[in-house]
Every structure is written in structure tokens, then in C-alpha cells.
């Protein structure tokens, strides 16, 4: 198995390291190390970063969807800042090589469920949203995403 640089794909790297530790543990069972726990910790390190990135994307999508659903919301500026901050944070974490593992359609569906679960807020009538994700991962992580254009695309 070729070595995977840690900064290329941290999830694959942690899986590779855990497998190497398993082989080592099989050859050195008498060492006073809690191998199962060490191996589990190494495996979870990569998956944990991916989970964090996905959670940040869902939060950012949620706020973008809220902005598209309630364009006249009183706290619109706060929502805009939160949405953009989340998108920037998730973009920053992509340097860890997790990008190929991100399924934006699945994360969009999670964010949609959260918006629908919340139900109507305030006096304004909510606007309908697209059921399918109208944006690509490249667009989502792009430096020059036009938020207003995105809101229009999110609406049904």
C-alpha cells in the first residue's frame, strides 16, 4: 500500500495508519500498549475532521436556505454573516483532502430537513425551496460565490 501524505487525504491517511498499527500490534502483542484504543483513536481522527466539515457545511447551508426562505427576516444580516462564515470555515478545512468525500446533495438534504422541521417563523410567508441541491461543490467552495444569485437558485 503506497503511503498517503497526511495533507492529501487525512481520512485515508488515518485509515492507512490504523491498518499499519493493527499489523504491528499483531506482531507485538506483549507490548504494554492498549492497541485497540490507539487504533480506534487514529481511525477516528480522520473521520472526525470529515464529520466536522460536513456539520459546518450543513450549518452554512441551513442559514443560506433560511435566507432564501425568509428574505424579509428581521435578523437577515446576522444570518448572512453566519452563513458566509460557515462556508469560509468549511472551505478552509478542505485543505485536509476531504473534498472527494463530501456529498453536497446529501448535506443539502440534511439542511433542508432542518429548515422544514423549524416550520414558519415570523409573519412573512416562507418561500418554497428547491428539493434538489442547485449548486456544485466547486461553486460552494468558490471564492466568488454570489450570495444573492445563490438565494435565487435555492428558491423553487
Show the cell assigned to 56.
459546518
Nearest to 99 by CA among 58, 140, 67: 140
Would you write out the chain's pLDDT as a tens digit for each of its 156 residues? 456 555 567 788 888 899 999 999 999 877 788 999 999 999 888 888 888 889 999 999 999 999 898 888 888 899 999 998 988 888 877 655 677 788 999 999 999 999 888 766 765 677 888 889 999 988 888 888 888 888 888 887
Give pTM, 2 decimals.
0.79
For the chain, list the domains and their CATH numbers: 10-154 (1.20.1220.20)
Amino acid at each position: 500500500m503506497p503511503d498517503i501524505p497526511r495533507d492529501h487525504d487525512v481520512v485515508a491517511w488515518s485509515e492507512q495508519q490504523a491498518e499499519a498499527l493493527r499489523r504491528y500490534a499483531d506482531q507485538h502483542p506483549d507490548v504494554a500498549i492498549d492497541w485497540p484504543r490507539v487504533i480506534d483513536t487514529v481511525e477516528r481522527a480522520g473521520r472526525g475532521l470529515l464529520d466536522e466539515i460536513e456539520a459546518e457545511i450543513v450549518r452554512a447551508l441551513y442559514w443560506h436556505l433560511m435566507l432564501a426562505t425568509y428574505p424579509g427576516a428581521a435578523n437577515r444580516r446576522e444570518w448572512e454573516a453566519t452563513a458566509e462564515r460557515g462556508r469560509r470555515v468549511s472551505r478552509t478545512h478542505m485543505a485536509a483532502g476531504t473534498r472527494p468525500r463530501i456529498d453536497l446533495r446529501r448535506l443539502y438534504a440534511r439542511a433542508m430537513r432542518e429548515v422544514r422541521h423549524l416550520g414558519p417563523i415570523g409573519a412573512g410567508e416562507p418561500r418554497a425551496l428547491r428539493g434538489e441541491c442547485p449548486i456544485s461543490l466547486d461553486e460552494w467552495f468558490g471564492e466568488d460565490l454570489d450570495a444573492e444569485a445563490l438565494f435565487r437558485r435555492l428558491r423553487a
